[in-house]
Amino acid sequence: MRRISLYNLINGMASSAYSPYISFIGALLGLSGYTLGIVSTAGTFFTNMAQYFSSATKSDARRLVLEGNIIKGLGLVLMAFFMNYHLLYTALVATVMAGSGISSMGLSLLSEYYSRGSRSFLLSRMAFYSSLGSLPVIVAGGLYMATNVELAKYIFVVSAVASTLSTAIVFDLPYDERPRERSLRLSVKGLEKFLAFNFIYMIVWSFAWPLFPLAQVHVFGMTTEQVAIINVIATTSTVVVQRFIGGFIARRMKTSMFIGRLTNTFFALAYAISPNVYGIYASQLLAGLANSINNVAYFSYLVDKAEDKRAAIGTYSVVMGLGAIIGGELGGWTFEALYASDGYSCLRSLMLYVAIARAAAASLFLLL
């Protein structure tokens, strides 16, 4: 697990240099609400769909990591040249996230293989070190782009090189588990309620994703430096909690999943009622609890309950990906419809409704 953790650390640092700012950059570039719906959910929809299709291939885990990082690297390099073209920017974000999905599928399979026997603890430790390494990179990225968002193009190139080269860390790891030959048929046996609840929640959750960058730019007037502060608080909170949460998740899996989903309510609520950016900062103190559980609990539940783990990971990816794109587009189009009459003030009302809906959807996990 040490080499997998090192790979996850380096790759996470490379992604942290640009991923917290992708949607914010899109809002600054003037992308519409429905286009931001695609950009803001790309990290879930395109990533997860790529995970699903790659789960049906006969490529082993190490080759998936290599193929995904090459695609992601090429997409990032092209973004450096075409970030000012709205459609190309959106398409390249989708490409980068699809590459991330392929490589993360390989990483998930490697993690599942090497974490058997102590899964919650080992995955929590791996996520802890990844979050810890992301902190300085998030700060550096936000400060670097604070004066001119065009500087993001250089971050894209450096991240592309780092992600591609990091593949060497895990490519020669022993891995003797051969993938089963299977079709793209979904596998839900024993996971029907878990998948249904996550699909419903994801629609509600992602509804606000295109609204967040719009509110950051047009309601709170944030800079990349302030977006960096938000992410640093969230990541620091995650680092603090992640180290200790594994044991609780292992003992209270259902409760953990409910708490993880319920905590997301407060982020939308902060954007609805905060008079200034400091209320947003305060809400991020809860991010550690939500992120720590999200990093471990749902994956652990999934692979522990599934018979065909590779198929289950792919199926879960499809369910969450479809829920994300549906919710994100609903949020983007709803904003466009209300903006014509209410302007940007509609964002606060929408965030309040999202907070209420998230709390309601989170309660479903108590029924598992």
Domain ranges of the chain: 2-172+187-367
Residue 347 near residue 27 (C-beta atoms within 8 A): no
DSSP 50-99: HHHHHHTSS--HHHHHHHHHHHHHHHHHHHHHHTTSHHHHHHHHHHHHHH
The sign one gets for the Cα dihedral 195, 201, 206, 212 is: negative
Give the per-residue pLDDT at 325: 96
Q: How far apart are CA 297 and CA 259, in angstroms?
A: 11
| Averages of pLDDT over each 10 residues, the chain, 368 residues | 79 89 94 94 92 78 89 96 94 96 84 66 67 82 88 94 88 68 65 91 96 96 93 85 74 87 94 95 90 79 78 83 96 95 94 96 91
Q: How far apart are CA 203 and CA 205, in angstroms?
A: 6
Q: Is 59 left (phi over 0), alpha (psi -120 to 50) or beta?
A: beta
In this structure, the number of other CB atoms found within 10 A of the CB of residue 247 comes to: 11
| DSSP structure class, residue 115 | S
Q: Which two tokens stand for residue 285?
A: 């103190």
In CATH terms, the fold of domain 2-172+187-367 is: Growth Hormone; Chain: A; (1.20.1250)
Length of the chain: 368
Give the per-residue pLDDT at 241: 82
Give the per-residue pLDDT at 262: 93
Residue 246 near residue 120 (C-beta atoms within 8 A): yes
Give the per-residue pLDDT at 228: 92
DSSP 229-260: HHHHHHHHHHHHHHHHHHHHHHH-HHHHHHHH
CA distances from 278 to 222, 228, 273, 285 (A): 11, 13, 11, 12
Give the per-residue pLDDT at 176: 65
Give the per-residue pLDDT at 118: 63
Residue 93 near residue 47 (C-beta atoms within 8 A): no
Nearest to 235 by CA among 297, 287, 296: 287
